[in-house]
A = this chain, B = another copy of it.
């Protein structure tokens, strides 16, 4: 095998990472995330959250400990956010859970990917040993491929667990990776 040339071509469908600043926020800053949160939940095509959820409910869900919220800014505009939390209490709290949202006009620009990479680093630094997504709609094909590129495997599939607002009963995937 000596002298074998190593012309490994790395191809990816990922767009170049945008210049993003991602940092943790508290409930006092959640108003910056709310327009994105509200639009994503009202669309009813990815999250199970009640589309009529209020600002206060969303803020508490995403910023009240042990939940932690991170906002991604580009040119000082919040273009995405994610929430990191233990997926279970007590004897299951070594597994993290995260949910990501990107502003509609900022999609397809690598922001979810950058937030996912960030969340994996934060989770590892916080001592989590794995990360689990409980509720990935099978219709959300771009997200599934993205999580797979970030090392997640599909470990479960729950039939018709999501009432997709346009497509109706939709299967949901459980995805997981070690950290």
Cross-chain contact B162 with A130 (CB below 8 angstroms): no
What chain B residues lie within 8 Å of A161 (beta carbons)? Answer: 87-88, 92, 95, 130, 132
Stretch of A26-34, A48-56, A143-151 contacting B (4+ beta carbons < 8 Å): A48-56
Cross-chain contact B156 with A91 (CB below 8 angstroms): no
Question: How far apart sit A165 and B90, CA to CA, in the bound complex (Å)?
Answer: 11
**Which of chain A's residues 38-58 have a Cβ closer than 8 Å to chain B?**
41, 44, 47-51, 53
Cross-chain contact A90 with B130 (CB below 8 angstroms): no
Most buried by B among A47, A88, A165: A88
Task: For residue A56, give the distance in angstroms from its CB to the closest CB of chain B.
Answer: 15
A127 contacts partner chain B, Cβ-Cβ < 8 Å? no
Q: A130-B161, A134-B134, A161-B95 are in contact. Are A89 and B156 (CB under 8 A)?
A: no
A124 contacts partner chain B, Cβ-Cβ < 8 Å? no
A176 contacts partner chain B, Cβ-Cβ < 8 Å? yes
A163 contacts partner chain B, Cβ-Cβ < 8 Å? yes
Question: How far apart sit A161 and B176, CA to CA, in the bound complex (Å)?
Answer: 10
25 of the cross-chain contacts (CB-CB < 8 Å) are A41-B90, A47-B91, A48-B90, A49-B89, A49-B90, A50-B89, A50-B90, A87-B161, A88-B135, A91-B163, A91-B164, A92-B135, A92-B162, A95-B161, A129-B160, A130-B159, A130-B160, A132-B158, A134-B134, A155-B157, A155-B158, A155-B159, A156-B158, A156-B174, A158-B176
- Apart from A92-B163, A130-B159, 11 more pairs, CB < 8 Å: A47-B90, A48-B89, A48-B92, A50-B91, A51-B91, A129-B160, A130-B160, A155-B156, A156-B156, A156-B158, A159-B176
Binding site for B on A (CB under 8 A): 41, 44, 47-51, 53, 87-95, 129-130, 132, 134-135, 155-165, 172, 174, 176, 178
